[in-house]
Structures are given as structure tokens and as C-alpha cells.
Amino acid sequence: MLSADFGHLERDTKLIDRSVAQWVHVDVMDGVFVPNISFGFPVIKAIRNATTKPLDVHLMIVEPEKYIARFVEAGADWLTFHVEATDDVAGCISLIKNAGAKAGISIKPATPVSALEPYLDDLDLVLVMSVEPGFGGQKFMPEALSKIRELRARHFDGIVEVDGGISAANAHLLWEAGADALVAGNAVFGAPDPLAEIKKILQ
């Protein structure tokens, strides 16, 4: 949703709602963990009210433990935080699960997969960043492919999600490497026909 038109948030959410996309991905940025600020609870609630699809909320905020319960309350079905953003990774996973959501951890391009090793068995999802988090519209970093393969080589059997610079041009590479959830923003909302573009990416 980061690439949606916020002046027409309901319209753009409903567009995704009637597309073949399976989830609605929501990027939350605090201006501290990343050099950009996106939006918070009221906007997430507005998105929640405009779709029946699962909300996949990606927190790019420091100390996510302070806000996990409120994000689930606002409508997150899947809640992902950054391993680099907290001193209590295991505690964050428990908070998410106890709140009734599926738990994910994300890693920035410079963070190795090995940083997740102690948590892999407890995670529903790992989100591999294929750009530096903070802004939409960036170019895909192919280093993400080896991280996806490494997660599968470590027998992680949850969802492997990739976020950043994804389009119909590279979706097949990610799928072949072992990813099963692809986040697309600019490729969708920047396309002349977003519904057709989502189909193209999935195909």
C-alpha cells in the first residue's frame, strides 16, 4: 500500500481487494529505524475496513514490542518486525503470537540469514528485504536470491517473503529460489492496469 494514492486510500485498497493478490502488504516506518515516515494505526484501520484480505503488516520501527498489541488490534493478521530493531526478538515473537497474529521477522540487505537461526522454528514467516528499507520504487538487489536459497537450505518451512523492487520481470527468479510471497508496490500502482499487472506477477 506504500505506493497507493493516499488521497484515494479506500479506492486503492478496494482495487487490491478485487485483484488476484492474496494479501495486502502495509509498510509502517517511524523515521528512526528507517529515514522515512509512512503512517500508523488510523490508516491501518482504514485499510482494514476496505478489504477482507489478510493484512500483512511490516514494521520498520524501533522497539516494536511497545506497539505489537496495537497493530494486531488495528487489524494485522501477519505481523513482521526487523531483527535489527529490538533487543528482545524472542519476546516480540511471543507477543505477536499471544495477540493472535502470525509472526514474521525481516532482515535488511546487510543482515545475514544466520542472525535468524535461533528463531526459525518459531517463525511463521521470514521477510527478506531486496532493497534498503525506507522508500518505495527502488531497484531489486539480486543478493536476496541467495538468502532465499539459504533459508530453504536451513529447512525453514514457513513463508519466505521478499520485499523491494519486485515486478513481473524478476518474480519467476524469486519463486524458483524458494520464495512464496512477493510484495509489489510500484510495479502494481505504477502500471497502467494494476489488476492485469498483479496477474502477470503471479503467473
Which is closer to Zn ion, CB of 75 or CB of 121? 75
Decide: is 48 part of the binding site for Zn ion (CB under 5 A). no
Which is closer to Zn ion, CB of 12 or CB of 27? 27
Residue of 119, 115, 146, 114 whose CA lies nearest to 130: 146
Residue of 45, 43, 50 whose CA lies nearest to 10: 50
Q: How far is the CB of 197 from Zn ion (least distance, A)?
A: 18
Decide: is 56 part of the binding site for Zn ion (CB under 5 A). no
Position among 16, 50, 58, 170 found at the interface with Zn ion (CB under 5 A)? 58
Position among 27, 30, 161, 197 found at the interface with Zn ion (CB under 5 A)? 27
Q: Which residue numbers are catalytic?
A: 27, 163
Q: How far is the CB of 2 from Zn ion (least distance, A)?
A: 7
Collapse the DSSP code of 190 into the 3-class scheme (helix H, G, I; strand E, B; otherwise coil) and give the result.
coil
Compute the chain's Rg from CA coordinates: 16
Crossing angle of the two packed helices 9-17 and 194-202, in degrees rounded to 10: 40
Which is closer to Zn ion, CB of 58 or CB of 102? 58
* Binding residues for Zn ion (CB under 5 A): 27, 58, 163
